[in-house]
Structure 1
C-alpha cells in the first residue's frame, strides 16, 4: 500500500478566512502550549510546525538595536516636517529594511514597537524625542502616516505590524512606574485618547503598548480603557504588548496586587496579550499564569482570547503563508533611495526660528563652525548603528570647501592631577592610530563601552590632556585625544573604551565635586568615586582620589579665536540624547548648559554674524535678541550634517515647523506631573503667556501671502478653502495651517486648535488653492454632564496662517449642534470625576478594575464644582459614596454648607465604600452650581440627590 499524505490542516489553507484558520490552530494547541505563547518570546510548537515568535522590534526612526540600518531623524524631527506623506515613505523604508534584515537574521522581529504617540505636553519630559507633537491632530496625522508605511499597502498581508506606544497619559520619567497621572474626563477624551483613537481608526495599527505609569491611581497594564475605549475603535484584533518588566511592577514596585498570580490574571483580563518580562525567560510568566488558572483567577477562555490576538498578527504577517506573502522576498536595505530619503527627511525637519537676513550664507564666506555638537552625529536609545554619517562640520566642509571652514569644538582641555603630583594618563589603544573611524566616518565597532581587554587609566608625570564637556547640571564626559570616551566596565576600572556615551545605564558620565583644595571625581553610572590604585584607576567605595583640575585651554578662548577670523560663525549647540534628558531621566530646566551659553556669548562677542544651530531632542529657552539667525533641528540621523549645510547654503529653503511650544522660561511650565492641560493652561491650546516661539512656527527664505478664504458648513463637514502664493524669489515649501476656535463656549475651550494643515511646494509667483473638509467632530468637546461628545451650537472662528500665532485670514461659520442642558442630577446623580472645575484634588481609582473617584491631594482639603445642576421641583436629601475618613460638604452657588456627610470612622480600605445620606438644611429647587468640599483623606465616588 502507498502511504497517503496527511490532509493539510485548515490553519494552513490560504483560501480560508483568517478567522477560521486561527480558530483551527487554536483548537489544536494544548493549554500548556497556549500559556507558553503569552510570553514575549513564545516557543515553537514543533508538532504543528509552528515557529517560535517574539513580539517587539524597536523601529522608532529606523530599525534599532539590531546593528547597522538606515537612521532617519528622531521622531520629534519627523513631526517637525509636518509632512505625513514623507513620513509614510520613511515608515515604508523602515519596514522594508526590517524585512531585509530578518531575511539574514531571524532575531529581527516584524512586530514593531513604533510609533510613540504620547503627546509632547511637557518639554522637560526625558523622552520628548520619541513623540511627534504636543497637538493630538498633528500627532495622529504623522503617526497614521508612519503606521501606513510600516504596514504596507497589500490588502491582506502586512509588511510589519506596528504597535503604538505608550498607553496612556505618559509624560514623566521620574518615578515613572509609581506615579499616577490625574486625568479628568475632558482631558482623557479630548487630548490623551485622541491621538491613539485617530491613528487606530485609520486601520494600520496592530496594537498598543501600555505605559509604566498609573492613570487615576490605576496601572495602565490593568486599564479598563483597553476594553472600554481601544477595542471599540476597530473591528480588527489588536495585540496589547506589555512594556518591559511592567507585569512584575504591578506587585514589586506599585504594590497594586499582593501576588503575581493576581496581577498577571488582572492584566490578562484587562487586555494584555503578550507579557514582556524577565528577558527571554518565559518560565516565570508561565508559572504565574498556571498559578492563576489553578486558583480560578483565569479561565482557559481568557488565555484563548489573548492567544487569538497574537495569532491574528502572525497570520497577517504572512507567517503561515510563505508562498503568498508578498513581502517574503524583500531585500531593500541601505539603498540609494533610502539614503536620499534620510537626507530629504533631515532637510524637511530643519526649522528656521529667526533670520535677520544673515541666512542663507554667502557662497564665499569664511565660516567658523564651533561647539560641542559641531562634529558629532549623535544617536539615541532607539537608533540603529550608523551605516553612513554626516556631522555639521562634515556637511559644511563638503558644501563650502574645507579651505573656507575653521573648527573649534569649544570644550575645555584639562589635566587631572593626583594628590601625589602625577597626572591621569590614558594608555594607547591597541588599534593603530587613526583607526577609531573607518570608512565614511563610521566609528570602529571595536570601541565599545564595557571592554576589559584595554588597559585601564594610569598616572605618569606628563599626563594625558582630556576634553571635558559639561552637559549641564554638573554632568561631564571626558574624552582622550584620539576620541575615546572614558568609561567604566563591570570590573570597575576606568578605561578609554567608548566611541560615544550610551547604554541603558550610561557609563561615560562623571561629576567633579569640590573637596578641599581639589575635586572628587564621581562616576555617575556606579555612583562611586574614582580611585587611583597601584593596579590602575578604578571606581571604589573608599579612598577616593582628590584631583587638581588643570585647565590647559578654555573652550571659549578657542571659540573666540576662530570666530574672530571668520566672516560668519555657526555655533552648534544642544544635547547628547543619552545625557540629561532621555528614557528614565527627565530634564530639570529649559536652559542651555552653562558651558554652551558661555561659548555662544564668546562667539557673539568676537563676531556679531553668529548663527545658533540647535541640534536637540527638545526645546530650549534661549535669548535670540542679539542673534541674527537661529535654527533648530532634532538629531537628524545619518544625513543630519548634509541637511543642515544645504539649508545654511540656501540649496534648500527651510520649511520645518515647531511641533510644540517653545517657552521663554522655566516659570512658564506647569509641574511635570500636572496632566490637566485644561486647568493648567498647558500647550498652545490653552497657554495664555507669550511663548519664545509658538507651536507651528518656522520661517522660510521665501515669503508667502494668503487670500480668498471661504468657508461653508453642511451636515457632513465645514468646507474651507484659501489660497497661498509664493511672493519670494526662490522655490520653497510653505506649511499652511488651519485652526478653529469656539467663539462662545460654555466651558473652557482651546484658544485655537489645529484642524487641518498641508505642506506645499511653490515656485516664485505660484499660487495654490488649498481645500479642506473639516468634520463636525473637530468642533466637538467631551461634555462631562452628558458623558459624550457634543458640538455646541453657535459661531466658530476659522483661522488660516503660518503658525498658531501667525494668523493671516479669519472667517466665522455658525454650526448647528446640541444646546447644553442642565445636569438632571435628581435622575442621574453626579460621578465625582465629572467635575467642571476643581482645586486641591486628584482623581484615583474607584476600584482595582474600573471607575474613578476623587480625593484631596495629600489627604487635606479639596473642592469640586459642578455647574448648572437641575434639582427640578425640590431637593430634600443628598447621598454620597465614600471610603476612608473625612467629611463631604455640600453647598450651592457659593453659599453656606447645606449638608455635611462623614463616615464617622475610617472604612476598611480605599475600596470599601459606604453610602451616607443626610437631609439638606434648606429647600432647594431649580438650577444651581454644586460645590463639594472634601475634607480629609477620603475618596468620593458618587453623589446622589433625591426630592
Structure 2
C-alpha cells in the first residue's frame, strides 16, 4: 500500500513540475535528446533555416530569442567593449606554460559569461560579439613566417599547438557536468595558413603524410581530448573541394574517423566562394552550394548563402531530414549552454560583471606578458641593466605605440602600458631620452598633427564622426561621436563600425576644424575600401573610386601657421566591408644623424622596433614594401629600421633590440647591430611593464620560441620541396620547413630562449629502454640551476624515428616549465605518450604505432648543440 502511494505521489509531483513548462523542450530536467526532438517538431522549415546562420533569427511563438553565434576571444574577449587583453596568441605560445594558459582562458570565459549575462539581461537577445560561442582558438600550423595571421596561432609545432589548444578549450568551456560556460571552436579546418590574398580561391595540396602528421594532430586533440563543441571549416579548397564541403576532411575524418558530434560552422562568407567564378567557382549557384555544404555537415553558416536552403529543398537537392541532422547539433548547442533554461538553473549565470577588467585579471595579463618574453641574445650579459643606470635612450616606432601591443582580434583594455612608459616607471632616477626615429615601414618620418583638430569651431579636440545607415548621407545619423585619438574604422571580420550602425550600405561624414601649427605642407592621408571624397574649405581635393580606393593616398596641402581650415571626408560603402582611415601629419625625411646625435650620450640604447598588426594580419589593405594583403613578401626587418639600427650601432653604445612581432624575422644581417635581442611579441595591455621588468632584472626571462627564426628568406625557400606545383609561400609541403624538417642551421631555433640563470642537464633515465607499442614511456631528467638566482627552465623532450627518411628530424613530444632555485637540482619526470611513436601508414590511411629504434632527445632547446640523447626500442 505504501509503495503505491509513493509511486502516485512521485507521478503527481513530476506532472506538477512539468506543468511549469509550456513545452517539454523548456524543461531542464528532461534528457537533452528528448528536448531537441520536441523543439525540432515545433519548428517550421523556415524557422529552422533562420536558426542555421550566425545571425540566428528569433522564433517569437516559442519565445526563442535572436542570437549572434559569432564571438571572438583569441587573447581576451574581443570586439565587445572593455576587456582584459592578454598577449597575442603567439606570445602566449612562447610561455610554454600550460597551467597558466588554462588559467588565462578560465578568466577570459569568466569575462565572456559576465558580458553575456549583462547584455542578455538588458536586451533579452544577443547580437554579434555578445554571445557565448567563441570562434577560438586558431590552431592552424604556422608553417611559413610570411603568413600574417600566424600571430593568432600557437606556432609551428603540432604538439605544442595541441597541448595549448586543449588548455584553451577547457578554459573556455569549463568543467560543469551539465552546462558549458562557453563554446570554443577549433579553426580553420584544416590545411589553412595563407596566403591571405588568394585564400578564397586557393587549392591546398599536401601528401597524406603531411596531412596526418602535421596539419591534423591539433584538431584531433581538440576534438577527442578537449571535447571542443565547434569546428570551423576554412576558406580554401583541399584536393579540389572547398573545405566547407570536403569529403576527406569533413566526411571521412571529422565525422567518420573521429566521430565528432559537435557543430561545424563555416568561415565567414566562405560558402559564397563556391559559386563565384573569381574564387573557387566549383558550384553553379547558391542553392547547390547551400545543399552541398549542408550534406557535408556544415551545420551553421557565417554568411547568408543558407537563405537559399528553401530553394535547395524545392529543387530536390536536399530533404528536411538533411536539415534536421544539422539542426540537432545546433539545438544541442543551445541546451549545452543553458540559453533556453531558467537563469537560476545555470550557475555560470551568477558570474558578476565585476570580473571584467578586474585586478586579478590585470595581474594575470602582466604575468603572461612576462612569461611570453624570449631573451634570444645577450652578449656580454648586457642584460639586465644596472639599477643605478643614469641615462637610457629609447628609440623606435614601437616604443610608444599602444595599438601595436594589442595584436589583432583584440579587445579594448581600460589602460595600456607602452614600452616607453614601462621603462620610465621602472627607472625613475634615470634620464630617459625618447626618439621615435622612424615609422615601422615608411622611409620618412611622420609627425602626427591630429591633435590640431577641433570637432567644430571652438569645440572639443578631435573630429566629428557621423555614420548613416544609407549610402546617401540622408536623414539623422545612426551614430554621432567625437573621435579624439584618430580615425580608424573597419568592419573586416564583421566588426561593427559603431553602435547602431549597420554592416552594409552605410555612409560616413568625418569633419573638423584644422589649425595649422606651421607654414608648409600638411599631409592628409585617406584610405578606404570604397568611395570617398575629401574637401578642404569646401573645395574637393580628392575623389577616389573603385580599385584605387584600396590603397592609401597622400594629399599635401599648403597651409599657413595659425590659420584654420574646414576638413571633411565623405565615405560611401559599396562593398561588404568598410575600411576608413584618415590622418593628418607633417612628413620629413628620416634624419638618422639627428637621432644618433640625440642619443649618443646615453649609457644604453633600447631600440623598440619590429612589425605591427597594422602591417600583418587578416586580409588587410596594406601598401608597404615587403607586405601584401596582410602577409609578408619579405621576412627582413623593414629597410628603414635596419638603417636606423646600423646608425645607432655607430654610437658605440650598447644596443638592446626589443622586437615586437607576430612572426619570425630574418635578422641575420642585423645581428651585428645589437648586443641583446628581446622578443616581446604583441604583449597585450601590460606588455610595456613586462619588458621593463625584464630589462631591470626584476623578472627573469624564460620564454621559448614557438617558431623558427630563419636566417633569411632564401634559407627557407631553398630548402622547400621542389616537387609541388606551388612554390615558396604557396607550397604547403613540410619538407624543409620548421625545425621538424629543416636540416640547415637557422638563426634561432624553435624552443630557444635564454635566462639570467644558468642550467645544466644530467643524464636522463627511462623507466624502460624497450617497450611495447601500446605503452607510454617515462623519462626523468636531472636539471641543475648552477647560477646565483632562481629561474624557470623549459625542459623539452623530442623524439626521432631512426631509419625513416620521411620522418621528422625530431619532433616535440613532452615539455614542462619548472622553477628551479639557485644551486638546486630537480629531477623532472615527463611522460612521453604512446601516441608519440605513431606515424602515417598508407595501408591504414592513418597514424599507427611504428616499432623500431628511436632516439629520445632532451634539453632546454631543439638545437642539436643543446640536447642530450638516450636510445629507445619499440617492440
**Cα distance change on mapping 1:352 and 1:17 into 2, 3 Å:** same
Show the 5 A alignment for 1:756-767: 756-767=814-825
| 8 Å CA contact 2:91, 2:681 repeated in 1 | yes
Q: Which residue of 1 aligns with 2:866?
A: 807
Distance 1:427 1:436 in 2: 8
Could you tell me how far 1:372 is from its partner in structure 2? Answer: 0.6
Q: Greater Rg, structure 1 or structure 2?
A: 1
Q: Which residue of 2 aligns with 1:603?
A: 648
2:741 to 674, 683, 686: 686
The answer on 1:147 being equivalent to 2:183 is: no
1:65 to 62, 68, 79: 79
Could you tell me how far 1:576 is from its partner in structure 2? Answer: 1.8
Distance 1:491 1:458 in 2: 27
Could you tell me how far 1:174 is from its partner in structure 2? Answer: 2.2
Q: Which residue of 2 aligns with 1:259?
A: 285
| 8 Å CA contact 2:528, 2:552 repeated in 1 | no
Could you tell me how far 1:557 is from its partner in structure 2? Answer: 3.0
Q: Which residue of 1 aligns with 2:474?
A: none
Show the 5 A alignment for 1:252-331: 252=276, 253-278=279-304, 285-286=306-307, 288-321=308-341, 322-331=343-352
Per the alignment, in what secondary structure is the counterpart of residue 11 of structure 1? helix
Distance 2:788 2:516 in 1: 62
Distance 1:157 1:219 in 2: 33
Deviation string, structure 1 residues 27-59 (Cα, Å, up to 9, x no partner): 222222112111111112222222222212011
Deviation string, structure 1 residues 692-712 (Cα, Å, up to 9, x no partner): 100100000001111131112
Higher RCO (CA 8 Å, separation ≥ 6 residues)? 2
Show the 5 A alignment for 1:119-130: 119-130=141-152
Could you tell me how far 1:381 is from its partner in structure 2? Answer: 3.3
**Cα distance change on mapping 1:662 and 1:30 into 2, 3 Å:** same
Deviation string, structure 1 residues 237-286 (Cα, Å, up to 9, x no partner): 311111111111110121100011111100011011111114xxxxx632
**Cα distance change on mapping 1:707 and 1:265 into 2, 3 Å:** same
Show the 5 A alignment for 1:607-626: 607-622=652-667, 623-626=670-673
Name whichever of 45-54 and 549-558 sits farther off. Answer: 549-558
Distance 2:690 2:517 in 1: 44
Distance 1:569 1:705 in 2: 32
Per the alignment, in what secondary structure is the counterpart of residue 147 of structure 2? coil
Per the alignment, in what secondary structure is the counterpart of residue 797 of structure 2? strand
Q: Which residue of 2 aligns with 1:138?
A: 160
**Cα distance change on mapping 1:218 and 1:813 into 2, 3 Å:** same
Distance 2:671 2:445 in 1: 35
Could you tell me how far 1:323 is from its partner in structure 2? Answer: 2.1
- The alignment yields a C-alpha RMSD, in angstroms, of 3.2
Name whichever of 798-807 and 339-348 sits farther off. Answer: 798-807
1:574 to 594, 597, 610: 610
Could you tell me how far 1:531 is from its partner in structure 2? Answer: 7.6
Q: Which residue of 2 aligns with 1:157?
A: 179
Deviation string, structure 1 residues 746-773 (Cα, Å, up to 9, x no partner): x411111101000001111222222222
Distance 2:641 2:347 in 1: 51
**Cα distance change on mapping 1:13 and 1:246 into 2, 3 Å:** same
Q: Which residue of 2 aligns with 1:201?
A: 224
**Cα distance change on mapping 1:97 and 1:415 into 2, 3 Å:** closer
| 8 Å CA contact 2:527, 2:549 repeated in 1 | no
| 8 Å CA contact 1:729, 1:764 repeated in 2 | yes
1:217 to 226, 240, 246: 240
| 8 Å CA contact 2:798, 2:813 repeated in 1 | yes
Q: Which residue of 1 aligns with 2:592?
A: 556
Show the 5 A alignment for 1:331-730: 331=352, 332-356=355-379, 357-365=381-389, 366-377=391-402, 378=404, 379-401=406-428, 403-411=430-438, 428-430=453-455, 447-449=486-488, 452-455=509-512, 462-463=519-520, 492-493=532-533, 525-526=550-551, 530=555, 552=588, 554-584=590-620, 585=629, 586-622=631-667, 623-670=670-717, 671-677=728-734, 680-711=735-766, 712=768, 713-715=770-772, 716-730=775-789
| 8 Å CA contact 2:142, 2:155 repeated in 1 | yes
Length-normalised TM-score, structure 1? 0.74
Deviation string, structure 1 residues 443-472 (Cα, Å, up to 9, x no partner): 966644367342377999803677xxxxxx
Distance 1:523 1:411 in 2: 27
The answer on 1:243 being equivalent to 2:267 is: yes
Per the alignment, in what secondary structure is the counterpart of residue 344 of structure 2? coil
Distance 1:551 1:51 in 2: 52
Could you tell me how far 1:8 is from its partner in structure 2? Answer: 4.5
Q: Which residue of 1 aligns with 2:836?
A: 778
Q: Which residue of 1 aligns with 2:479?
A: none
| 8 Å CA contact 1:706, 1:722 repeated in 2 | yes
Q: Which residue of 1 aligns with 2:190?
A: 168
Could you tell me how far 1:429 is from its partner in structure 2? Answer: 2.6
**Cα distance change on mapping 1:294 and 1:330 into 2, 3 Å:** same
Length-normalised TM-score, structure 2? 0.80
Could you tell me how far 1:719 is from its partner in structure 2? Answer: 1.8
Distance 1:353 1:262 in 2: 53
Could you tell me how far 1:430 is from its partner in structure 2? Answer: 3.4
Q: Which residue of 1 aligns with 2:108?
A: 94
Structure with a larger share of its residues in helix: 2
| 8 Å CA contact 1:523, 1:529 repeated in 2 | no
2:255 to 219, 231, 246: 231
Distance 1:220 1:95 in 2: 29
**Cα distance change on mapping 1:402 and 1:463 into 2, 3 Å:** farther
Could you tell me how far 1:580 is from its partner in structure 2? Answer: 4.7
Name whichever of 752-761 and 575-584 sits farther off. Answer: 575-584
Q: Which residue of 1 aligns with 2:624?
A: none
Could you tell me how far 1:667 is from its partner in structure 2? Answer: 0.5
Per the alignment, in what secondary structure is the counterpart of residue 69 of structure 1? coil
Deviation string, structure 1 residues 352-384 (Cα, Å, up to 9, x no partner): 000011000111222101101001122333011
| 8 Å CA contact 1:458, 1:536 repeated in 2 | no
| 8 Å CA contact 1:777, 1:791 repeated in 2 | yes
**Cα distance change on mapping 1:41 and 1:550 into 2, 3 Å:** closer
| 8 Å CA contact 2:600, 2:653 repeated in 1 | no
**Cα distance change on mapping 1:262 and 1:68 into 2, 3 Å:** same
**Cα distance change on mapping 1:211 and 1:610 into 2, 3 Å:** same
Distance 1:425 1:41 in 2: 37
1:751 to 809, 828, 833: 809
**Cα distance change on mapping 1:607 and 1:538 into 2, 3 Å:** farther
Per the alignment, in what secondary structure is the counterpart of residue 422 of structure 2? helix
Per the alignment, in what secondary structure is the counterpart of residue 656 of structure 2? strand
Distance 1:569 1:11 in 2: 66
Which runs of 5 or more structure 2 residues have no equivalent in the other structure? 1-15, 120-125, 464-481, 490-507, 537-543, 559-564, 572-584, 621-628, 718-727
| 8 Å CA contact 2:418, 2:689 repeated in 1 | yes
Could you tell me how far 1:295 is from its partner in structure 2? Answer: 0.9
Which runs of 5 or more structure 1 residues have no equivalent in the other structure? 279-283, 417-422, 438-442, 467-477, 479-484, 497-510, 512-521, 541-548, 817-947
**Cα distance change on mapping 1:207 and 1:425 into 2, 3 Å:** closer
Distance 2:21 2:189 in 1: 44
1:11 to 17, 25, 48: 25
Could you tell me how far 1:493 is from its partner in structure 2? Answer: 4.6
